[in-house]
Amino acid sequence: MNRSWLLVPVLGILYFNDVSAGELYPHGNAQHMYLGLSGALVDVDADYVDSGSMLSASGSIDNTLIGAIVGYQLHENFAFEARGYGNVSDETINGISVSVDSHFSVLARGILPLNEYFRPYALLGYGKSKVSAAEVSEDDNDIIYGLGVSISNGNRVQLELEWMRLYDESFSAGDVNYGLQGDSINLNLVYHFPSP
């Protein structure tokens, strides 16, 4: 059973509750550390094409992952961070359990500070995902990228909405071509510590 919908009201309550008042970017030094909780809805699309027999197939799975974010903002336009996620749901296809078990990444964040409340950003980095089907599991390392927007209500807690491309792989074995693509939609709740 998918319980990912429970994450939305919890993040909303924490965001709209005045967890820690104060200016997010006080005049002067913008360098600070941040920590966050993240929920990721991961969609994996797989394609199989056999050019010899002209057979093809495709499928899609959806998983929910919960994770943590640790980051450091060096400048109002740049930060770097590390993320780790674990699976909380899997999907069954033709009686076989398929899941994205975990995902770890190191990312650079380019931020466009439009104003105090609304900050779009881009993410670029390196990630490692572990995918399982039945008793078989495989690790995939790839360049990852994405776009997001950070919304603040004036305190140090920010709500973030992101799209990320976790992996995009294609490979061949004889006449058979495989393609695997993974995207995620993330909802993050991030607390920014005061500048040192």
What's the pLDDT score for residue 116? 79
Answer whether 129's CB lies under 8 Å from 144's CB.
no
Query: Which sign does the torsion angle of CA 104, 73, 121, 41 carry?
Result: positive
What's the pLDDT score for residue 74? 93
Answer whether 105's CB lies under 8 Å from 83's CB.
yes
Lowest-confidence segment of 22-31, 102-111, 131-140 by average pLDDT? 22-31
Degrees (nearest 5) of the Cα angle 11, 6, 83? 55
Count CA atoms closer than 13 A to 124's CA, side-chain side.
Answer: 4
0.85 exceeded by pTM: no
What average pLDDT does this structure show over 28-34? 78
SS3 of the chain: CCCHHHHHHHHHHHHHCCCCCCCCCCCCCCCEEEEEEEEEEEEEEEEEEECCCCEEEEEEEEEEEEEEEEEEEEECCEEEEEEEEEECCCEEECCEEEEEEEEEEEEEEEECCCCCCEEEEEEEEEEEEEEEECCEEEEEEEEEEEEEEEEECCCCEEEEEEEEEEEEEEEEECCEEEEEEEEEEEEEEEEECCCC
37-66 pLDDT tens trace: 999 998 877 665 666 666 666 677 788 999
What's the pLDDT score for residue 66? 96
112-125 pLDDT tens trace: 988 878 899 999 99
What's the pLDDT score for residue 26? 44
More confident site: 40 or 129:
40
What's the pLDDT score for residue 101? 85
